[in-house]
Amino acid sequence: MAKYKLEYIWLDGYTPVPNLRSKTQIKEFGSFPTLDQLPLWGFDGSSTQQAEGRSSDCMLKPVAVFPDSTRRNGVLVMCEVMMPDGTTPHPSNGRATVLDDPGAWFGFEQEYFLYQDGRPLGFPAEGYPAPQGPYYCGAGFKAVGDLARQIVEEHLDLCLDAGINHEGINAEVAKGQWEFQIFGKGSKRAADEVWVARYILNRLCEKYGIDVEYHCKPIRGDWNGSGMHANFSTTYLREMGGKAYFEALMAAFAENVEEHIAVYGPDNHLRLTGLHETQSIDKFTYGLADRGSSVRMPHSFINDNYRGYLEDRRPNSQGDPYQIASRILKTISTVPTP
């Protein structure tokens, strides 16, 4: 038997953006623990805006488990927050609202800035660097620096060690801005892994004295904001599709614009302006390979008779992927299949 360090990770009750919280407990196992071996664990919800002091107990229910290569016998445990009975989802539990659909696939493109001393990493102490243009997928110290590259590469390795399904990383359009992409089959897997990847990045940056800035428009003016584009498909969209179904789906998205924007991350009006590869927040459009549309169709989708995946470009970098996935699936569910 070995003692394992179980890092229970959850989302607190702060709004509009929940914070990641975690704490460690030690348990003995004969080998790396499986999900069904991990117990419920209580915490003080009055310290996380999830309960009152006079009745402060909340419960953590493990939902995904990953090895943590930064610790000997380390385990990362993503959890849902439950009420004291351990079976009723807490009102802050966005994961519990996601329809359980193994045929739903999601891919999230998480953009973010690295910040040091209150400014994006690589910005001069006063003023601004050269206008954006050479930074996207750039190489060399002038374009991306050295510390940023070190952090994002180390983050990638830690996530791969954990078994997170990273699909890639790249420097983004603005100086100090980066992106990682995560794909998952099933309605909740990709969202679970985005949250754990965010946790790993936040924790990694502690040792470098760097902050991760997830706000969608931390630099005003002629600088790209940060998104979390949501690529999605369902079994029907992949296998059957068709132009009529696609047009009905887009009509449903157009009818539910406010509901989508409400959970696509705060301050999105600062980012969705119609500039910097966005559509205006008060409009809904879709287009072929159009990064200025609300929803982008890849060429492969059209070429395969409107089958495959679509990209909703409206979610922003602070969005909760659970709520985003939940809203997309709710809208899809209103469209009858022929």
By the 8 A CB rule, do 189 and 195 touch? no
- Distance from C-alpha of 311 to C-alpha of 295, rounded to nearest angstrom: 5
Residue 6: what pLDDT?
98
Contacts of 173 (CB under 8 A, 6+ apart): 132, 135, 136, 224, 276
Q: What is residue 332's three-state secondary structure?
A: helix
- Distance from C-alpha of 244 to C-alpha of 337, rounded to nearest angstrom: 10
Tokens 């919280």 found at: 21
Residue 212: what pLDDT?
98
Residue 54: what pLDDT?
87
Could you give the angle at the alpha carbon of 207 between the alpha carbons of 204 and 213, nearest 5°? Answer: 60
What is the pTM assigned to this prediction? Answer: 0.97
Tokens 């904001």 found at: 225
Domain 105-333 class, CATH top level: alpha beta
Q: What is residue 69's three-state secondary structure?
A: coil
Q: Maximum Cα–Cα distance for the chain, whole Å?
A: 60
- Within the chain, which residues score under 50 in pLDDT? none
User: How many residues does the structure list for the chain?
Assistant: 338
Cβ burial, residue 317 (10 Å; 0-12/13-18/19+): buried
Tokens 């975690």 found at: 22
Residue 338: what pLDDT?
79
**CA 254 vs CA 4, 132, 223, 250, 259: distances in Å:** 49, 32, 28, 6, 10
Each domain of the chain, given as residue ranges in start order, spans 2-93, 105-333
User: 282: how many CB neighbours lie within 10 A of its CB?
Assistant: 11
Amino acid type, 221: G
Residue 222: what pLDDT?
87
Please name the fold of domain 2-93.
Ubiquitin-like (UB roll) (3.10.20)
Residue 140: what pLDDT?
93
**pLDDT tens, residue by residue, 37-93:** 999 999 999 999 999 988 899 999 999 999 999 999 999 999 999 999 999 999 999
Q: What is the dihedral of CA 123, 125, 130, 136, to 10 degrees?
A: 0
Residue 277: what pLDDT?
83
Equal CATH topology for 2-93 and 105-333? no
- Distance from C-alpha of 198 to C-alpha of 232, rounded to nearest angstrom: 20
User: 172: how many CB neighbours lie within 10 A of its CB?
Assistant: 23
By the 8 A CB rule, do 59 and 48 touch? no
**pLDDT tens, residue by residue, 156-176:** 999 999 999 999 999 999 999
Residue 37: what pLDDT?
98
Tokens 């607190």 found at: 12
